[in-house]
């Protein structure tokens, strides 16, 4: 095994696969990277927690990352452990062809080493496969008795009984077939990436579909800063990425520069004209039809769900959606229900939902998909509640349809139809302060469940309820806004 310096890591290789310019920035101008979002950070944290749990599949190993301070030491320690034929190594570190990889778990079985790469996901994506095949390539070239690499993912069929059983919670699949087939590919790609670094010139790559695939690029803010103005063509909904990039490449940067003849879709033309005139699209007939369906008394409802990667409630599966909070907002009344203790509160949730909505003839929601899914899953669990739960579902009126169908559209929505964007664009008096997303709400809920300090617990609870009420308040104010339009 050779002691080489490295120029590439697994993450920089994946960046190169997405875009050579992103790779160059990553290596030379890391400070240009966008600030990491709370949701992304939460996803990373979850990945680390799952990685630690997966080590229990092969307990008692040596964690190279905990025993060393830098990569050179990590490679040295890995070599020492290998020469001693250590049974299990976590974060074993290898460098080959100037590429550094750290293997989640390396395990000696019948004198052969098997590697395990852990992902906190139910499915194997193309990116995971690429990542695993690169590690296979490095191991095959570094470790004479290496046999295979497995991708370890969550087992969607696993149902929690009393305690977590790692051997059942995870499932694995070999990547040997794909990796062996792509040996030449990795050799060539590594060479090409190193050539980009040797040239030391920012690759001349324009913004394109690659900026979003497989993830939004970390250097989006830098590359897109001139394409983010309020009148940028990229703010136009309905057009589709192909047309947007075609306009951009032909020099059409703003909505005002678009030639109407290049637009075939009548609705897109109307949206474009709304952008230019700053006048909203208002289809009063459709709005009136929706308002007619709303029967008094009416209330707005929002639900929050929790979908832990590792099931925490007996009888649930990885990532199963568990409703934990709902809030109801009517003209002069507010109410809520929060599953506060660690046991399964879903039946209480269902009963409270039925009772607290019984006084209303219509229930306003903004995008009913998740609420309907929750109710369907509650019906699956508690057959005896099927009728009253179906009644709740049948009272739903989804206000998001008005916006998604362009019955009301303002250019300030751009191409975002989320409740928060629309509330802010319509200047509704609602604030979404602390918690900004469903993923953040889940994180608050997890913290609340495990918090022993009653004061801290109460604060987390208040933040969650306030977040959920903000959504119901926004939904109710949108209803009032639509009613005003009708006058």
The SS3 of residue 455 is helix
Nearer to ligand SF4, 22 or 92 (CB): 22
Q: In whole angstroms, how close is the CB of 288 to ligand SF4 at the nearest point?
A: 44
What is the contact surface with ligand SF4 in residues (CB under 6 A)? 18-19, 21-22, 25, 205, 207, 210-211, 217, 219-220, 223
Nearer to ligand SF4, 219 or 366 (CB): 219
Q: Where are the alpha helices (DSSP H) in 279-345?
A: 284-293
Q: Are 325 and 311 in contact (CB under 8 A)?
A: no
Nearest CA among 190, 155, 151, 150 for reference residue 169: 155
Q: In whole angstroms, how close is the CB of 30 to ligand SF4 at the nearest point?
A: 13
Rounded CA separation 443/438 (Å): 9
* DSSP string for 134-158: HHHHHHHHH-TTEEEEEEEEE-TT-
Nearer to ligand SF4, 219 or 469 (CB): 219
Q: In whole angstroms, how close is the CB of 13 to ligand SF4 at the nearest point?
A: 15
Nearer to ligand SF4, 34 or 344 (CB): 34
Q: In whole angstroms, how close is the CB of 125 to ligand SF4 at the nearest point?
A: 18
Rounded CA separation 155/172 (Å): 9
Q: In whole angstroms, how close is the CB of 135 to ligand SF4 at the nearest point?
A: 23
Burial class (CB within 10 angstroms; exposed 0-12, middle 13-18, buried 19+) of 332:
exposed
Nearest CA among 37, 39, 19, 38 for reference residue 27: 19
Q: In whole angstroms, how close is the CB of 223 to ligand SF4 at the nearest point?
A: 3
Q: In whole angstroms, how close is the CB of 22 to ligand SF4 at the nearest point?
A: 4
Rounded CA separation 261/16 (Å): 38
Nearer to ligand SF4, 15 or 346 (CB): 15
Q: In whole angstroms, how close is the CB of 116 to ligand SF4 at the nearest point?
A: 30
Cis, bond preceding 297 (omega within 30 deg of 0)? yes
Nearer to ligand SF4, 21 or 368 (CB): 21
Nearer to ligand SF4, 405 or 415 (CB): 415
Nearer to ligand SF4, 3 or 31 (CB): 31
Burial class (CB within 10 angstroms; exposed 0-12, middle 13-18, buried 19+) of 110:
exposed
> Which string of b and e fits 461-472 if b means at least 16 CB within 10 Å?
bebbbbbbbbbb
């Amino acid at each position: 095994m050779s002691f080489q310096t490295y120029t590439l890591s697994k993450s920089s290789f994946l960046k190169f696969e997405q875009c050579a310019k992103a790779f160059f920035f990553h290596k030379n101008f890391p400070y240009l990277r966008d600030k990491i979002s709370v949701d992304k950070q939460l996803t990373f944290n979850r990945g680390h927690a799952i990685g630690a749990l997966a080590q229990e599949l092969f307990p008692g190993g040596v964690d190279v990352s905990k025993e060393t301070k830098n990569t050179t030491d990590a490679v040295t320690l890995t070599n020492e452990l290998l020469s001693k034929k250590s049974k299990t190594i976590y974060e074993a570190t290898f460098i080959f062809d100037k590429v550094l990889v750290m293997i989640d778990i390396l395990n000696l079985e019948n004198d052969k080493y098997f590697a395990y790469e852990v992902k906190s996901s139910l499915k194997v994506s193309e990116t995971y496969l690429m990542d695993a095949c690169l590690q296979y390539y490095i191991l095959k070239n570094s470790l004479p008795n290496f046999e295979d690499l497995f991708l370890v993912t969550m087992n969607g069929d696993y149902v929690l009984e009393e305690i977590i059983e790692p051997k059942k919670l995870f499932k694995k699949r070999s990547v040997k077939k794909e990796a062996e087939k792509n040996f030449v590919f990795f050799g060539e790609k590594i060479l090409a990436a190193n050539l980009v670094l040797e040239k030391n010139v920012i690759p001349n790559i324009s913004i394109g579909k690659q900026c979003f695939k497989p993830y939004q690029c970390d250097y989006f803010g830098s590359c897109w800063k001139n394409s983010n103005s309020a009148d940028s063509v990229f703010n136009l909904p309905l057009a589709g990425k192909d047309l947007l990039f075609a306009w951009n490449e032909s020099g059409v940067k703003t909505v005002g520069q678009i030639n109407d003849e290049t637009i075939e879709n009548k609705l897109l033309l109307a949206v474009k004209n709304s952008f230019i005139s700053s006048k909203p699209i208002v289809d009063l007939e459709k709005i009136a039809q929706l308002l007619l369906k709303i029967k008094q008394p009416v209330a707005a409802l929002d639900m929050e769900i929790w979908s832990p990667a590792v099931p925490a409630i007996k009888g649930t599966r990885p990532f199963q959606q568990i409703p934990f909070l709902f809030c109801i907002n009517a003209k002069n009344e507010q109410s809520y229900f929060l599953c506060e203790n660690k046991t399964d509160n879903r039946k209480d949730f269902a009963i409270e939902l039925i009772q607290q909505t019984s006084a209303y003839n219509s229930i306003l929601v903004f995008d009913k998909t998740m609420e309907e899914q929750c109710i369907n899953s509650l019906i699956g669990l508690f057959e005896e509640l099927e009728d009253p739960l179906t009644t709740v579902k049948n009272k739903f009126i989804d206000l998001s349809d008005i916006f998604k169908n362009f019955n009301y559209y303002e250019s300030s929505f751009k191409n975002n139809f989320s409740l928060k964007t629309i509330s802010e664009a319509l200047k509704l008096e609602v604030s979404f302060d602390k918690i900004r997303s469903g993923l953040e709400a889940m994180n608050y809920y997890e913290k609340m469940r495990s918090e022993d300090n009653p004061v801290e617990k109460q604060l987390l609870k208040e933040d969650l309820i306030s977040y959920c009420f903000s959504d119901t308040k926004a939904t109710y104010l949108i209803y009032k806004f639509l009613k005003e339009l009708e006058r």
